[in-house]
Structure 1
Amino acid sequence: MLEGTIVKALSGFYYVKDGEKQIQCRARGVFRKRGVSPLVGDHVSYEAKKPTDGYILSIKERKNALKRPPIANIDQAILVFSVAEPAFDSHLLDRFLVQMEAYHIEPLICLTKWDLLTHEEAESFHDRLTTYAKIGYPILVTSSLKKEGIAMLKEHMENRISVITGQSGVGKSSLLNSLDQSLNIDTQAISQSLGRGKHTTRHVELLPIALNGYVADTPGFSSLELPDMTLADLERCFPEFNDYRESCRFRGCTHLAEPDCKVKEALAEGRIDQGRYKHYQLFFQEISQRKKY
């Protein structure tokens, strides 16, 4: 039985990479009956009666999978956010980080357009990044224009399958082109009237990059729905709570209204970031409202 990895999905076709060859495949109807859709990144078995066309027969067990972007078997997620044009959005970044924590995918925070900041603005921004660095999230600052941080980012991508995603217009395509100019990914300017970028990527595709690495270029978007999760799941997606939750007075403490909450004590003493905690409250309310319907 032939085996390979789906490297692109487009218009109902799945392009399976098997060694040096790539086969255009359709999925058997049995997948629709089971409510299962093949994803980019899936390891599959297939049959091909023609040299370039075939059918996917089965999907191997996934180690993880995302719905948006629709991709499976990811080693790391590169979360791309700009420091300007559009402005840095910590609320959206925290949504992405919750999603990565929920699916046990290692995140890398990658900040673009660093060249647009003055020296004073850059110093101030470094202070904002301290919050994430203390939690343990790796951070890279880059400039596609000045080629800053590009070599270090490529090192992070060697021998790994990475998904690169983030808010529209932050420079994901420019970043990929800086990593490998042969990719020649289409880029468009920021819409000044809307303050956000236009979508330049229309499908999910695994692109070869770095040393034995692949990256998934994905459609940009400006909002992200929280995954299907319980309130307890959400609480565990904030790593800065780890040192305090076991000392809370009540088991299953939500860290909102309960007395003798060690997370809230740490918050009051400045050991937990106020902005991150505010986002936790907002996400908690969002999931609570979802559960009512």
Structure 2
Amino acid sequence: MAKRPKLTHRQKRQVSANRRKRMSQADTPVSDEHLGPLQSGLVTGRFGKHADVEASDGTVWRCHIRRTIDSVVCGDKVQFRPGQDSSDVISGVIELVEDRHSVLKRPDYYDGEKPVAANIDQIIIVSAVLPTLSTNIIDRYLVAAEDVGIPPLILLNKVELLDDAQRQAVEQQLTVYRDIGYPLLYTSCKSGEGLDTLKQTLIDKVSVFVGQSGVGKSSLVNQLLPKANEAIGALSDTSGLGQHTTTAAKLLHFPDGGDLIDSPGVREFALWHLPTERVTWGFREFRDYLGGCKFRDCKHQDDPGCLLRSAVEDGHISPERFASYHKILQTMQDQRPTRHIPL
């Protein structure tokens, strides 16, 4: 029998408050007498109103989520009570979500921001030479990673499609990221290049793969975890764009240690919810110059006394990254929802 977890005083108060609240609201998806003792668990899947929780012994329970809990996502560490009747498909109940050391969120037009994964240690930004290599999309993911404070790794997949001259050109194009401190990795699921290095990078960490459809995220997962049975989406013959293949959030364990959270919610990041200043800060090479422009409301374009523009002209900031920054701001403005603000 699993040992009952030791809760902090704050967690005990929260569990008690949740119990009182659900009794007053008649929120009891499973009768308390049909539940086992409280124990620790890890959320490994989220399906609508339910979540899969892995206990310390490896047993997985599909659980109800108390209405008193704001959100439950893959990677959450929780306190739950398993059902005593193991024949029930959904028999456990999540009572408490423990504090998260990191959380990925996506903007939502109606609810502001929604958590999609928790307790992440690194973000693997997957790009590829097919459908196309877009450094602007890489920059968007880097801003998102910087915003939440989770270290990113830039991974270029499908490098077997490049000849020597093309590879040299691509490596030169991506050198700017290594120069400002981001790690780079080149991989191929066909030739096996870079896969051993990727495996080592994933050990003892909780990671997420992000990137556009068609860059080979599911193929990489199949190489790393052949039993994961990831569906591989073929590229559209007409558009060249990939088809979305991941439909439910899940956490997968690597044999050598470490976990991968695979969720449609982290497939692509939007940035329209961020203030302009936060996006500017997300370009790490800009930070030494922020606050030093002649005008406080500097737009970092043709404004007189702009330190960022001067740094570009002096060769300290990549012109391509500077142009990408302004493209991101313009896209954010186009995507940002308009809300009626009462006078």
Structure 1 length-normalised TM = 0.90
Matched with 2:218 is: 173
Matched with 1:17 is: 54
Which one-letter code corresponds to 1:149 in the other structure?
Answer: G
Matched with 1:66 is: 104
Give SS of 1:30's match. coil
Question: What's the CA shift for 1:7?
Answer: 0.8
Mapping for residues 254-269 of structure 1, pairs under 5 Å: 254-269=299-314
**Distance in 2 separating the partners of 1:211 and 1:228:** 37
Question: What's the CA shift for 1:279?
Answer: 2.2
Question: Is residue 98 from structure 1 mapped to residue 150 from structure 2 by the alignment?
Answer: no
Question: Is residue 249 from structure 1 mapped to residue 294 from structure 2 by the alignment?
Answer: yes
Which one-letter code corresponds to 1:139 in the other structure?
Answer: L
**Distance in 2 separating the partners of 1:270 and 1:220:** 37
Give SS of 2:264's match. coil
**Distance in 2 separating the partners of 1:75 and 1:280:** 26
**Distance in 1 separating the partners of 2:239 and 2:250:** 28
**Distance in 2 separating the partners of 1:111 and 1:2:** 41
Question: Is residue 82 from structure 1 mapped to residue 128 from structure 2 by the alignment?
Answer: yes
Mapping for residues 1-293 of structure 1, pairs under 5 Å: 1-19=38-56, 20-31=58-69, 36-50=70-84, 52=86, 53-68=91-106, 70-84=116-130, 86-219=131-264, 224-226=269-271, 228-251=273-296, 253-287=298-332, 290=336, 293=339
Give SS of 1:49's match. coil
Once the two structures are superposed, residues 261-284 of structure 1 have per-residue CA deviations (whole angstroms, 9 ceiling, x without a partner) of 221111112321222212211333
Which one-letter code corresponds to 2:300 in the other structure?
Answer: H
Query: Conserved in 2, the CA contact under 8 Å of 1:23 and 1:51?
Result: no
Once the two structures are superposed, residues 6-63 of structure 1 have per-residue CA deviations (whole angstroms, 9 ceiling, x without a partner) of 01112322001111211110111223xxxx2211111111112325421111111122
Query: Conserved in 2, the CA contact under 8 Å of 1:5 and 1:16?
Result: yes
Change (3 A) 1:227 1:41: farther
Change (3 A) 1:28 1:222: closer
Structure 1 stretches lacking a partner, 5+ long = none
Once the two structures are superposed, residues 158-188 of structure 1 have per-residue CA deviations (whole angstroms, 9 ceiling, x without a partner) of 1000001210011111111112322232213
Which one-letter code corresponds to 1:75 in the other structure?
Answer: D
Change (3 A) 1:73 1:91: same
Give the greater-gyration-radius structure (CA). 2
CA RMSD of aligned residues (A): 2.2
**Distance in 2 separating the partners of 1:94 and 1:150:** 24
Change (3 A) 1:62 1:260: same
Question: What's the CA shift for 1:288?
Answer: 5.4
Question: What's the CA shift for 1:204?
Answer: 1.3
**Distance in 2 separating the partners of 1:51 and 1:88:** 52
**Distance in 2 separating the partners of 1:104 and 1:222:** 18
Taking only the aligned residue pairs, the percentage that are identical comes to 34
Query: Conserved in 1, the CA contact under 8 Å of 2:139 and 2:324?
Result: yes
Which one-letter code corresponds to 1:21 in the other structure?
Answer: T
Which one-letter code corresponds to 1:179 in the other structure?
Answer: L
Deviates more, 1:140-149 or 1:228-237: 228-237
**Distance in 2 separating the partners of 1:226 and 1:210:** 34
Structure 2 stretches lacking a partner, 5+ long = 1-37, 107-114
Which one-letter code corresponds to 1:25 in the other structure?
Answer: C
Question: What's the CA shift for 1:252?
Answer: 6.4
Change (3 A) 1:179 1:242: same
Which one-letter code corresponds to 1:64 in the other structure?
Answer: S
